[in-house]
Each structure stands twice: as C-alpha cells, then as structure tokens.
C-alpha cells in the first residue's frame, strides 16, 4: 500500500489507511487509460509514458500528452494529483528535488528534454516558468527584467537591453504602470503587478514555452483578469501550459484541458467539452464539485 | 440512469438544484392539468371551468419568472459546469416551453367560452378529443422522462409528435370540407381550427421538453432535426 502514497514529500495530506485503500481500488478500476484527445498534430512538447517517482513513491503514472504550438493547455485536478509535478518535468525543475526520478520520453521540438547532453540553463530559457507566488528579485524593476537576457547573453549593449525591457513589460501589460519608476524595487509593486513583472521577466529571454503554476491564486479578481487577458495575448507567440485550481480560469484561458487524478491523466479534451459534457465520470465529479 | 445531483460536496448546492428541478416539475404538473381542464371545458361546454383556466394562467407566468430567477442565482453563485450546467439550462428552457403550453391551454379555454356562447359546433370535436389525448400523453411522458433521466422514453415520446402533426393536418382538411359544405358554420369551425392548432403546438412543446431530456443526460443538442448529434456522443 505504501507504493500508492502518491503525494510528494512535504505535500502529503492526512489520509487514513482506509481512504487510501479505497482510492487505490477506485483508481485502478476507473482509470485505465486517458480518454479524449491527448495528442495533437502540431505538438511543441511531446510527453510519452511519463512516470515520476519521489524516492519509492510514484507520483505520475504513465502520462502521455502533447502540447501544441500557440495552444494553452490547462491542467486541473485535486491537490496532490500530480499536475504541478508533471508541469515541472517540462523544464526539468524537478531536477532540484532530491530523490525525484523522471522516466519516459519528453521532447521539445522533437529533441529530448532529458538527454544527457542537455544543459538545463538554456532549456529553462526556452521553457520559462511563472510561479504561484510572485517572486521578483530584490532588485529594481529594470534589473528584474534585464537579468535573464544578461545572463543568457542576449542583450549586451544598454540600448538593446532597454528595448528588451520595454518590449517585455509592454507585452506583460505593465509598461504604462511602471515606465516612470523602472529604477524602483520590483518588490514595491502590488501583487498583480509583481506577477506581471515575473511574466515580463520570463518572456524577456524570448522563451518558446511558458509554464504557469497557479499564476493567479494569490491575486485579486482584477489582477487575475489582467493576467488571463495577457495569457490570451501571449498565446499568439508562445506555447503555454497552466496549472490552475480555478476551474473557471481553465475554462476561460485554455483550448484544451487535462484532468489529473492521483497521478493519472484521466481525460484531455477540448475545454468546451470538458466543461459542458466531460467524457470521464471522474472529470465530471471534480469539475461539478461532487464526491469523486 | 442516475445523474448524482445529490452528491455535491456543498449540500446547499444539492438542495438548490433539487428545488429548481422540483419547481419546474410542479409547474409541469400545473400546466398539464390546465390542458386537461381546458379540453374538458370545451367538451362539456363549461365556461365556468374555462374561466378558471384563464385565472390560473397568471400563476403559471409567475412560476416561469420564479424559475428563471432561481436559475440565474444558481449560475451567479455556483458557476455550474457539465451536468449541473445542463440541468440549469434545461430547466430554463423547459420552463419557457411550459409557459407556452399554458398559453395554448388558455387559447383552448377561450375557444371553449366562444363556442359555448355561440352554441356548440358538433363537428370537429372527435378530432379535438383525439389530438388532445395524444398531446396530453406526450406532455406527461416528456415530464416523466425528465424525472427519470430516461433518454429512451424521451426519444419515443418525441417521435409521437409526427403522428400528432399528421392527425392535425388531416383534421384541418376535414374542417375545410365542413366549411365548404356549410358556409354558415365557418365562424364556429374556425374556432375549432384554432383549438386544433393550439393542441398541435402543445405537442411541439412536449417534443422540445424531450429534447432537453436528451441534452441533460447525454449533453447532445438534438433540436431542429439534429438527432445525429446524439449518435456522436
């Protein structure tokens, strides 16, 4: 039974042995393979038979999924379902967690993400990430955005950097609010502004994919609406995967929605289908707030 | 078929959905008896009963408004998705159909009063009774299918509308013949025609209700002849 304790260390939620056993049976009988449309024709990211372990504990079970170019894929599911773990595989953020092992084929533009020769620094420039809590560096607004291009050697001259900073802040919808105080600390901005600053920082290095891990959960509805508007705008140039606890947000921003349950990818379908007529009973139970 | 509307983590949500459905089914019961009373008033030349039908009509309008309001509140408060959303949408649509059935019942009641005042028109009553029985059964069966989330029953009931339409057309031809034979009967027979028309429309509304049963259970929109959408789900 220990092998079915699916939560990552430090994320485990109290569960009695009885409920775990019950869930195990449930999952075995209900989740055999992913229903819906996990694959697409113009895949930017391809993941096949991905298994993730935290030491002996398996957190992701045989997940296969494509994320297409200029597509927003939302990943939803209850706490501990593995959606964040899966997202973090896509730019090898899990490498930083001790005891975490990723198996399976993951490719970006058909090149392996976990290849032996892959350097994670340029990989993470191509696959940027925005976290739940806005985490600007304790530096000026300008430096926050210019830092990435500098270390990746993208903008060497001041004029080039100025242009990158302005463009990134404009794209993140923050330019007008901060253009007169670029030399002030990024930490002095409001929560919503900080999150848009982090998005500006992520896009400053011209990534191809942006991963977002609950980017709005610490924001008020207006700041959330701005970020969602921004996601829609960014989709024209980037591939986006977003983990969210807000079902309405998934419904609003994504073209496809993936539902994770106890480390299994239960269903992937057009977002419209998922929210009006989901195929799998577990998806239905989750998005309608029923006992799964 | 079980749709598990009582299994939300929020008990209040269970209750909200349950009471919305109950409200709609109660309205359905009221409307069904309106149709029965209106047809009976016509058959018995009972203008008093017809007047009663017209009085209750107002109550039906109020119920439609109340259902709309409660459905709006559920959408605003709960943002229902999937089957919950389809439940709310289907109740709103069915309530509108039921309100229109109520309107048709009132038309029949008005014809009952007119025909009683003018003296009865013995011709056409058989046809009226025949079509009235058919559409009352359709309406009952449609609401019953909704209560039991029974798609098969809904599809069977839906198919009955074709027969009602055929019976209606043949009744109209019959009435035209009467009018040609005896021009003095024209004004009375026209009242019979309006009644037949109202009853035929009730069949259409019952059919719409059946389509909402399919939408609720299967998530397929089969309105306006899109039955193939059901096979695709």
Q: DSSP letter string over chain A? A: -GGG--SPTTTPPP--HHHHHHHHHHHHHH-SS-EE----TTEEEEEEEEEEEETTEEEEEEEEEEEETT-EEEEE-STTSSHHHHHHHTTTGGGGSTTEEEEEEEEETTEETT-TT--HHHHHHHEEEE-SS----SSBHHHHHHHHHHHTTS--SHHHHHHHHHHHHHHTT-HHHHTT-TTSBGGGS-HHHHHHHHHHHHHHT--SEEEEESTTTTS-HHHHHHHHHHHHHHTTT-EEEEE-S-HHHHHHH-SEEEEEETTEEEEEEEHHHHHHS-SSHHHHHHHTTB--
pLDDT band for B232, please (50, 70, 90 cuts): low
Q: What is the model's pLDDT at position A31?
A: 59
Q: Would the CB atoms of A277 and B233 count as touching at under 8 Å? A: yes
Q: Which domains does chain B have, with CATH numbers?
A: 11-228 (1.20.58.220)
Q: What is the model's pLDDT at position A283?
A: 95
Contact call for residues A226 and A216 (beta carbons, < 8 A) = no
The percentage of chain B sitting over the pLDDT mark of 70, rounded to a whole number, equals 97
Which residues of chain A does B79 touch, with a Cβ-Cβ cutoff of 8 Å? 247-248
pLDDT band for A8, please (50, 70, 90 cuts): very low
Return the residue of A nearest to B78 by Cα. A288
In this structure, are strands A239-243 and A256-261 parallel, antiparallel, or unpaired? unpaired
- Closest-CA residue to B223 (of B95, B28, B93): B93
Q: Does domain A2-12+21-135+210-287 have CATH number 3.30.590.10?
A: no
Interval A46-100: pLDDT, tens: 999 999 999 999 999 999 999 999 999 999 999 999 999 999 999 999 998 999 9
Whether the per-residue pLDDT at B191 is higher than 50: the answer is yes
pLDDT band for A155, please (50, 70, 90 cuts): confident
Query: Does pTM top 0.95 for this prediction?
Result: no
Q: How far is CA A286 from CA A132, A260, B82, B127, in A?
A: 22, 10, 10, 52
As a whole number of angstroms, the distance between CA A121 and CA A151 comes to 10
H-run or E-run covering B189? helix B186-218
Bridge partners for A100 per DSSP? A54
Q: How far is CA B74 from CA A276, B6, B194, in A?
A: 16, 15, 39
Q: Would the CB atoms of B82 and A248 count as touching at under 8 Å? A: no
Q: What is the model's pLDDT at position B115?
A: 84
Which residues of chain A does B84 touch, with a Cβ-Cβ cutoff of 8 Å? 288
Tell whether A284 is within 8 A of chain B (Cβ): yes
Q: Would the CB atoms of B81 and A275 count as touching at under 8 Å? A: yes
Q: What is the model's pLDDT at position B148?
A: 95
Which residues of chain B does A248 touch, with a Cβ-Cβ cutoff of 8 Å? 79
Token pair listed for B8: 């939300």
Tell whether A288 is within 8 A of chain B (Cβ): yes
Q: What is the model's pLDDT at position A21?
A: 45
DSSP symbols for B6-36: T-BS-HHHHHHHHHHHHHHHHHHHHHHHHHH
Q: What is the model's pLDDT at position A25?
A: 47
Q: What is the model's pLDDT at position A292?
A: 62
The percentage of chain B sitting over the pLDDT mark of 90, rounded to a whole number, equals 82
The percentage of chain A sitting over the pLDDT mark of 90, rounded to a whole number, equals 75
Interval A164-219: pLDDT, tens: 999 999 988 899 999 999 999 999 999 999 999 999 999 999 899 999 999 998 88
As a whole number of angstroms, the distance between CA B92 and CA B115 comes to 35
Whether the per-residue pLDDT at A15 is higher than 60: the answer is no
pLDDT band for B123, please (50, 70, 90 cuts): confident
Which strands make up the sheet holding A43-54, listed edge to edge?
A57-68, A43-54, A100-108, A111-112
Q: What is the model's pLDDT at position A2?
A: 40
As a whole number of angstroms, the distance between CA B126 and CA B87 comes to 39
| Average pLDDT of the residues of chain B | 93
Q: What is the model's pLDDT at position B1?
A: 67
* Nearest neighbour of A284 by CB, restricted to B10, B82, B218: B82
Q: What is the model's pLDDT at position A4?
A: 40
> What are the residue boundaries of the structural domains of chain A, listed by start?
2-12+21-135+210-287
| Probe site for chain B from A288, A289, A291 (most B CB atoms < 10 A) | A288
Interval B37-93: pLDDT, tens: 999 999 888 999 999 999 999 999 999 999 999 999 999 999 999 999 999 999 999
Whether the per-residue pLDDT at A5 is higher than 60: the answer is no
Contact call for residues B164 and B104 (beta carbons, < 8 A) = no
| Average pLDDT of the residues of chain A | 88
Look at A94 and A154; give whichever has higher pLDDT.
Answer: A94
């Amino acid at each position: 039974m220990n092998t079915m304790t699916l939560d990552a260390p430090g994320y485990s939620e109290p569960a009695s042995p009885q409920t775990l056993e019950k869930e195990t049976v449930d999952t075995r009988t209900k989740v055999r393979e992913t229903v819906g449309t996990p694959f697409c024709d113009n895949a930017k990211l391809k993941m096949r038979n991905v298994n993730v372990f935290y030491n002996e504990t398996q957190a992701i079970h045989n997940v296969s999924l494509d994320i297409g170019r200029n597509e927003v894929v939302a990943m939803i599911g209850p706490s501990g379902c593995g959606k964040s773990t899966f997202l973090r595989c896509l730019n090898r953020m899990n490498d930083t967690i001790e005891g975490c092992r990723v198996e399976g084929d993951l490719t970006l533009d058909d090149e392996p993400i976990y290849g032996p020769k892959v350097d994670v620094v340029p990989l993470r420039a191509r696959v940027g990430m925005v976290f739940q809590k806005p985490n600007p560096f304790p530096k000026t607004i300008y430096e926050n955005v210019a830092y990435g291009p500098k270390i990746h050697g993208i903008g060497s001259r001041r004029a080039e950097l100025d242009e990158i900073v302005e463009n990134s802040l404009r794209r993140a919808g923050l330019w007008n609010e901060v253009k007169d105080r670029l030399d002030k600390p990024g930490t002095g901005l409001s929560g919503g502004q900080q999150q848009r600053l982090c998005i500006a920082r992520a896009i400053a290095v011209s990534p191809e994919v942006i991963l977002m891990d609950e980017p709005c959960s610490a924001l008020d509805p207006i700041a959330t609406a701005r970020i969602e508007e921004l996601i829609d705008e960014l989709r024209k140039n980037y591939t986006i995967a977003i983990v969210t606890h807000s079902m309405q947000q998934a419904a609003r921003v994504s073209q496809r929605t993936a539902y994770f349950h106890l480390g299994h990818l239960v269903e992937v379908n057009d977002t419209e289908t998922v929210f009006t007529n989901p195929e799998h009973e577990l998806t239905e139970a989750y998005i309608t707030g029923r006992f799964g | 078929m079980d749709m598990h509307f009582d299994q939300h983590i929020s008990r209040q949500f269970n209750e909200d959905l349950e009471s919305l459905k109950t409200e709609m089914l109660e309205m359905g019961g009221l409307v069904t008896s309106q149709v029965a009373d209106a047809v009976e008033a016509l058959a018995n030349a009972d203008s008093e009963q017809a007047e009663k039908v017209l009085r209750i009509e107002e109550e039906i309008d109020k119920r439609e408004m109340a259902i709309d309001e409660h459905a709006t509140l559920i959408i605003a408060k709960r943002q229902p998705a999937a089957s919950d959303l389809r439940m709310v949408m289907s109740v709103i649509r069915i309530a509108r159909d039921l309100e229109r059935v109520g309107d048709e019942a009132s038309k029949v009641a008005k014809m009952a009063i007119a025909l009683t005042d003018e003296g009865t028109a013995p011709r056409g009553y058989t046809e009226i009774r025949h079509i009235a029985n058919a559409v009352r059964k359709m309406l009952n069966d449609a609401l019953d299918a909704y209560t039991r989330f029974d798609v098969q029953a809904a599809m069977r009931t839906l198919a009955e509308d074709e027969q009602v339409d055929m019976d209606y057309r043949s009744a109209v031809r019959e009435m035209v013949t009467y009018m040609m034979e005896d021009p003095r009967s024209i004004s009375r027979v026209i009242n019979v025609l309006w009644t037949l028309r109202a009853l035929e429309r009730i069949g259409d509304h019952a059919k719409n209700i059946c389509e909402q049963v399919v939408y609720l259970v299967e998530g397929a929109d089969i309105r306006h002849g899109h039955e193939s959408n059901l096979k695709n789900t």
